């Protein structure tokens, strides 16, 4: 059985060690740090910031490509070695060499020589003969070994097995899709500029981008208590090549944000459901929105929640929609009657349980001019409250007697993030089979805490960036067995994204030009 503990105590990965040595040594040490439990997000910037500008591109490509092909390279390595290689440092060094030969087209002599030298630099000179022999063997016929590497998946076996159980028809395409880089998408802040004008601005900055349009259809209840189709068009931009944000026009001024195209569906979906709630007349038996146009009544205040909000992309998008001049939140036309003002203020609460992540929310909102101060300066009737709290226990009502607080809840639920492996390939190394079960239990705890806080007629949008059914449709099916006041809103046939599920829709990261793996389910609270 292969040992996972380092056999050389001199090489315990740390940020200081990562920032010393040749480019390949630094990449090797970064990979060792990830295997020891550190996330790619925590070690990537220290790596790149330690390098000269001319080396950053190669280091980034070498690190990310090695991670994307990690398990395929491991299997290839095991087939090439006469005996088991137990030293993690040696295995990692060889895999870095294989990546250069098979995926980055680095010249044979450079890839082999520099990788062997890297082994010496990390004080594993005793393995240089083995490393040299394996890499030379591969260099003689790289196309053969590349084909062997690409034949199957590059995931831990437990995850590949589960995905085959969940997505048998899409399995082969999914396995290859997860090994590719993800495209870069932009969300344009239409309060600042139109998407068409921003696309033209990109051209002037020599950045090529395509317009992407996603159509969502929801079967929402109308005032006659029958479901009618509601269509939503979400527009974004897909860049032909990933680009540094400081090279994008007016990025610092909040004209655009980097956000996956499938992530951009969340805010428009919950916003459309909220608008529908306001347009439906009700008796307001539970303290719901009062449509009597009495602006002095607190019932004219709309309360909404973004749970697990960090880093704030979906929150910012929702705020953009709410604060847009075209927003219908404050003026709702009911049936054939004239437009009436039914909302005096929107109170939006955003919660997350980690203080550093709360700081990221504030930073992102400030760039987009959507902080509470910015909203007040713009004389928006929006009150934003960002709270560091645990979504499994937090109560929005405070000391108030009634728990029925929110008209709409966006729950961007914690998940295993298997749908964003293309962007964060360290996930396949860091996640375990046990994590799935624990995450599903956490999701259930959050759902059971938030659902009683939703008003009758209100909507909860459940979102994950997972592609495992246990966290998605199966989670929803289990949740609905616990309540007799929940209805799943159906997506209509005009959706041009995702795969229809028993509840909700699932996006899979298969197409190299499409978004990440996201799951969406919209639930409405019915009368008890």
Active-site positions?
465
Q: How many CB atoms lie within 10 A of CB 308?
A: 20
Other CB atoms within a 10 A radius of the CB of residue 234 amount to: 20
| Structure-token pair, residue 245 | 């944000």
Gyration radius (Cα) of the chain, Å: 26
Rounded distance, CA 64 to CA 69, Å?
A: 9
* Backbone phi and psi for residue 239, each to the nearest 5 degrees, phi listed first: -75, 145
Q: How many CB atoms lie within 10 A of CB 261?
A: 27
Q: Are strands 486-489 and 454-464 parallel, antiparallel or unpaired?
A: unpaired
d(CA 389, CA 394): 6
Alpha carbons 88 and 86: distance in angstroms, whole number? 6
Is there a contact between 222 and 495 (Cβ–Cβ < 8 Å)? no
Can you give the three-state secondary structure of 281-328, one letter per residue? CCCCCCCCCCCCCCCCCHHHEEEEEEECCCCCHHHHHHHHHHHCCCCC
Alpha carbons 50 and 304: distance in angstroms, whole number: 43
Tell me the CA distances in angstroms from 236 to 1, 199, 249, 326, 499, one per residue in order: 49, 10, 16, 18, 20
369 Ramachandran zone, left/alpha/beta (phi>0; psi -120 to 50): left
Would you say 375 and 413 are in contact if contact means Cβ atoms under 8 Å apart?
no
Count of Cβ atoms closer than 10 Å to residue 389 Cβ: 17
Whether the Cβ atoms of residue 111 and residue 139 lie closer than 8 Å to each other: yes
């Amino acid at each position: 059985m292969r040992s996972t503990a380092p056999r050389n105590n001199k090489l315990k990965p740390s940020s200081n060690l990562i920032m010393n040595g040749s480019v390949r040594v630094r990449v090797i040490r970064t990979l060792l740090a990830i295997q020891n439990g550190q996330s790619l997000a925590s070690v990537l910037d220290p790596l790149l910031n330690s390098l000269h500008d001319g080396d950053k591109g190669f280091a980034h490509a070498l690190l990310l490509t090695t991670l994307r092909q990690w398990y395929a390279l491991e299997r290839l390595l095991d087939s090439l070695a006469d005996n088991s290689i137990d030293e993690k440092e040696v295995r990692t060094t060889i895999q870095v060499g294989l990546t250069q030969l098979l995926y980055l087209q680095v010249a044979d002599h450079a890839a082999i020589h520099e990788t062997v030298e890297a082994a010496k630099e990390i004080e594993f000179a005793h393995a240089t003969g083995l490393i040299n022999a394996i890499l030379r063997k591969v260099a003689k016929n790289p196309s053969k070994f590349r084909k062997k590497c690409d034949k199957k998946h590059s995931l831990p076996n437990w995850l590949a097995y589960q995905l085959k159980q969940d997505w048998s028809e899409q399995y082969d395409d999914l396995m290859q899709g997860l090994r590719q880089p993800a495209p870069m998408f932009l969300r344009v802040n239409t309060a600042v500029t139109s998407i068409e004008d921003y696309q033209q601005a990109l051209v002037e900055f020599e950045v090529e981008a395509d317009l992407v349009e996603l159509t969502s259809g929801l079967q929402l209840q109308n005032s006659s208590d029958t479901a009618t189709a509601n269509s939503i068009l979400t527009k974004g931009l897909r860049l032909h090549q990933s680009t540094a944000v400081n090279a994008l026009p007016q990025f610092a001024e909040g004209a655009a944000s980097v956000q996956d195209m499938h992530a951009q569906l969340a805010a428009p979906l919950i916003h459309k459901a909220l608008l529908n709630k306001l347009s439906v007349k009700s008796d307001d038996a539970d303290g719901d929105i009062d449509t009597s146009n009495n602006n002095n009544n607190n019932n004219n205040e709309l309360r909404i929640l973004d749970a697990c909000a960090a880093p704030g992309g979906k929150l910012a998008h929702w705020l953009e929609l709410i604060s847009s001049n075209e927003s219908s939140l404050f003026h709702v036309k009911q049936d054939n009657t004239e437009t009436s003002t039914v909302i005096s203020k929107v109170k939006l609460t955003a919660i997350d349980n980690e203080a550093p992540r709360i700081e990221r929310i504030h930073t992102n909102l400030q760039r987009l001019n959507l902080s509470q101060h910015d909203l007040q300066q713009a004389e928006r009737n929006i009150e934003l409250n960002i709270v560091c709290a645990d979504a499994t226990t937090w109560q929005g009502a405070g000391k108030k007697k009634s728990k029925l607080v929110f008209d709409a809840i966006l729950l961007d639920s914690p998940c295993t993030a298997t749908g964003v492996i293309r962007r964060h390939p360290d996930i396949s190394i860091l996640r375990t089979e046990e994590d799935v079960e624990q995450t599903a239990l956490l999701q259930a705890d959050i759902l059971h805490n938030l659902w009683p806080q939703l008003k009758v007629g209100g909507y909860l949008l459940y979102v994950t960036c997972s592609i495992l059914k246990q966290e998605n449709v199966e989670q929803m099916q289990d949740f609905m067995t616990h309540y007799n006041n929940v209805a799943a809103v159906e997506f209509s046939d005009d959706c041009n994204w995702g795969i229809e599920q028993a509840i909700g829709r699932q996006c899979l990261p298969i197409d190299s030009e499409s978004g990440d793996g996201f799951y969406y389910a919209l639930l409405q609270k019915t009368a008890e």
